[in-house]
Structure 1
Amino acid sequence: MQLKGIHHVSALTGVAKDNYDFYTNTMGMRLVKKTVNQDDTSIYHLFFADAEGNPGTDLTFFEIPMAGTTYTGNNSISNTALRVPTDASIEFWKQRFEKLGVEFDEPLIQAGRLALPFRDPEGQRLTLVSDEHNEGVPGGKPWKHAEIPQEHGIIGLGPVKITVPQVDASTTVLTELMGFSEIDGYSSNGHPIRVFETGDGGSGAEVHVEARTDLSPERPGKGSVHHVAYRVEDMEELKAWHEKLKDARIPNSGIVERYYFTSLYFREPNGILYELATDGPGFDTDEPMDKLGESLALPPFLEPQRSQIEARLKPLDTNKSN
């Protein structure tokens, strides 16, 4: 019953094409699945990951064309980290961002690791974090990209930061329900941040909790994060988590079949949406590994609706970067 680390982070974008261009061409991540939001099949759901779509490497986006501007604030997943291999990688990315006009802050030490905060074109709050002094959950395999040497490529998700007003309520859920341990802390712009880890620990298994009582609740829009998912070994364990949530009288979604993994959703006391997701079966269950993300993939229960679904979607060419 121990969570293995971060499984994926899902965020919002206003334009799938521009989102695809940035995360494949600028960031060098691989589009491993082009599908639709299973709860609203009129919008794309894009999965960017390492070369093989390994659990713990997926940054995903729902396309919401009418999404407004995000007004950042409390009760939010306020930053997502992406792991790179070494401290030298941070300098490589700083120079690349300068060349390409990507908005970034100066490198800093964050929880003992060299980090580079930056924003995507829609204001998504991201941080590159070096794995040079990291131990714990291993990273993935960077995607081969013409402009990004593999020794500097993105290898997975790093710590997720949540910003909440009632910090004890959030940390109690992390430790007493979800099995995280508090291991560290640091300060950012004068605000305390507590560090929690699960599983084998390390950058790919951390949640950073920022306590803020001076902010209004975040108003989400394009560039905001919808939820963070944590890794569960298999269906047997996911069912045990479902029973644990029911025993704790925590409202939840029940078991949800996502085809590429199976999920369970619930909200913690500050409104943060958590998902527990199985490691398998994986993204190559319906596409060969060398063709991931090239075509619109639909789970079997949506396949009979393919013609109607495709008619509602804007064409999105995803062959060029794969």
Structure 2
Amino acid sequence: MKLKGIHHVSSLTADAQKNLDFYTRILGLRLVKKTVNQDNTQYYHLFYGDEKGNPGTELTFFEIPNLAVKHPGTNSISSISLRVDSDEALNYWRGRFTKLGVDHDSMTKRFGHAVLPFRDPEGHQMSLISDENNSGVSSGKPWSRGGVPEEFGITGLGPVKLTVRYLEPSVQMLTEVMGFRKTGEYETESNNIVHVFETGEGGNGSEIHIEQRKDIQEERQGKGSVHHVAFRVEDEDELYDWIEYLKKDGFKSSGFVDRFYFRSLYVNEPNGILFELATDGPGFNLDESSEHLGEQLSLPPFLEHRRVEIESRLKSLPSPL
């Protein structure tokens, strides 16, 4: 029962079309699945990733129209990162962001890696992180038709940062329950300490960074907020083991959830941040060929009988070429 790394990150958007345009046309990610929120089928759930939407590369967005602007704060997933192969790739992206008007900061170093912080149009806090000095969990392969040279393309998800009011309970869950290992720490520009933990084979594709902040209010989620982070488990058998393990350890989880493209469980860590454990498979090619991922509205079998109703409620969302 060892978590293999980060599986996906899910965030919130108020406008699926603008979100689609940014993540495919600006960041060059592939739309690997256009589906709906299984808990509220009136709205889209978009999945972006590498060429096949491999685990560890998936960035997803729930659309909630008219969603208010978030109020950043503690007890939140305060930022995420996306991997690229080299420091040279960051130079390419700095130029691309400047040319295309993407809000970004200067390049800097973070825990031994070059990073380029930026925001999407809804204020989603992100960084591109270089894998030049990285080892551990493998990255994916960039989408070759995303308008970005492959050698500079985004290869997957990097470290996820949590900001919490109480550090010790979150650390205890990560290390004593979930099997993460502490590998070090670094200081922010405001002289706060960020603690770094990894799982599986380690490295950028497995890391959680945690900063304690008692001087700010709790985040009020809105567009640009991160909803949850998911971690990789091998298969359903191991997922069931985790369900029993968490139950015996006193954690209240969702139990087994069938998302069709993967199986999951959900559990809140002690500061209230939502974690998910998700299986590596079956994958996104269950209902679409690898060549045509994301081109049509996909519905899992348990929603297929409602397709006419669901499609009638959705606004048109042309997929990128």
Q: TM-score category by the smaller chain?
A: over 0.9
Q: Note the C-alpha offset of 1:249.
A: 1.3
SS of 1:280's partner is: strand
The range that moved more, 293-302 or 140-149, is 140-149
Task: Determine the structure 2 residue equivalent to 1:247.
Answer: 248
Q: Note the C-alpha offset of 1:207.
A: 0.1
Query: Quick one: distance in 2 between partners of 1:206 and 1:257?
Result: 26
Task: Determine the structure 1 residue equivalent to 2:195.
Answer: 194
Task: Determine the structure 2 residue equivalent to 1:259.
Answer: 260
Cα pair 2:23 2:29 within 8 Å, conserved: yes
Q: Note the C-alpha offset of 1:66.
A: 2.0
> Would you identify which runs of 4 or more consecutive aligned residues in structure 1 move more than 4 Å?
none
Task: Determine the structure 2 residue equivalent to 1:42.
Answer: 42
Query: Alpha-carbon deviations, 1:77-110, whole Å to 9, x = none?
Result: 0011000010000000000000000001101111
Amino acid at match of 1:266: V
Task: Determine the structure 2 residue equivalent to 1:219.
Answer: 220
Q: Note the C-alpha offset of 1:239.
A: 0.3
Cα pair 2:25 2:146 within 8 Å, conserved: no
Q: Note the C-alpha offset of 1:145.
A: 3.3
Cα pair 2:159 2:204 within 8 Å, conserved: yes
TM-score normalised according to structure 1 size = 0.99
Query: Quick one: distance in 1 between partners of 2:46 and 2:218?
Result: 27
Query: Alpha-carbon deviations, 1:23-79, whole Å to 9, x = none?
Result: 000000000000001011011000000001100000000000021000000000001
SS of 1:231's partner is: strand
Q: Note the C-alpha offset of 1:147.
A: 3.3
Query: Quick one: distance in 1 between partners of 2:147 and 2:201?
Result: 33
Task: Determine the structure 1 residue equivalent to 2:232.
Answer: 231
Task: Determine the structure 1 residue equivalent to 2:134.
Answer: 134
Aligned-pair RMSD on alpha carbons? 0.6
Amino acid at match of 2:167: V
Query: Quick one: distance in 2 between partners of 1:37 and 1:264?
Result: 16
Query: Quick one: distance in 2 between partners of 1:32 and 1:79?
Result: 23
Query: Quick one: distance in 1 between partners of 2:247 and 2:140?
Result: 34
Query: Quick one: distance in 2 between partners of 1:275 and 1:150?
Result: 30
The range that moved more, 143-152 or 178-187, is 143-152
Q: Number of aligned pairs?
A: 320
Amino acid at match of 1:149: P
SS of 2:219's partner is: coil
Stretches of structure 1 that go unaligned for 5 or more consecutive residues are none
1:316 matched to 2:317: yes
Query: Quick one: distance in 2 between partners of 1:234 and 1:203?
Result: 22
Query: Percent of aligned positions with the same letter in both sequences?
Result: 56
Q: Note the C-alpha offset of 1:146.
A: 5.8
Task: Determine the structure 2 residue equivalent to 1:280.
Answer: 281
Stretches of structure 2 that go unaligned for 5 or more consecutive residues are none
1:161 matched to 2:161: yes
